[in-house]
Amino acid sequence: MSNDALLNIERFLPHRAPIRLIDRLINADDEHVVVEAQVPTHGRFVRDGVMPAWVSIEYMAQAIAAWAGARAVRRGDVPQIGLLLGTRKLELHRADIPCGALLSIRAHCELETDNGLGMFACHMMLGDEVVARANLSVYEPEDSANYLARASS
């Protein structure tokens, strides 16, 4: 993929504003993803010029979604929705993150099954500082539209 294609994050994520937190896909291969995000100055999670560090979980989940979306695009498919099933070993190394901060979020696929389950080791950096680490369990249904229709009935 070209660098220009990688910069258009909406091509790889089903998320749209205001809930899309990731700004750029930097790199994605078969096992890893690196994305960047700038903490907004206004928004759902921002209070008094900072964002609570627990929002890191959603940043990491969206990094995984970008990884899955980039993989789908490489196959000629459309990115699908995925579900965050759980978080283990969450480490928050600070209470909050200042607005305007540029974050680097990395995820490594530790396990992926044929039925759409996955486990990722993730961390989020602010410069050289580790802000958060976690292992995230995710699920990507084979047919997300059908899955959601069945789940809501």
At 53-76, the pLDDT tens digits run 999 999 999 999 999 999 999 999
Residue-wise pLDDT for 107-136, tens only, equals: 999 999 999 899 999 999 999 999 999 999
Tell me the pLDDT tens digit for each residue of 31-58: 999 999 999 988 888 989 999 999 999 9
60 lies in which domain range?
Answer: 3-152
Look at residues 138, 124, 146, 136 and name the one whose alpha carbon lies nearest to residue 69. Answer: 138
d(CA 87, CA 67): 18
Helices (H) and strands (E) counted in the chain, each on its own, are 3, 8
| Structural domain total, the chain | 1
pTM of the entire structure?
Answer: 0.88
Nearest by Cα to 56 from 125, 117, 1, 7:
125
Tokens standing for 1? Answer: 């993929």
Share of the chain above pLDDT 70, in %: 92
CATH of the domain at 132: 3.10.129.10
Per-residue pLDDT at 94: 96
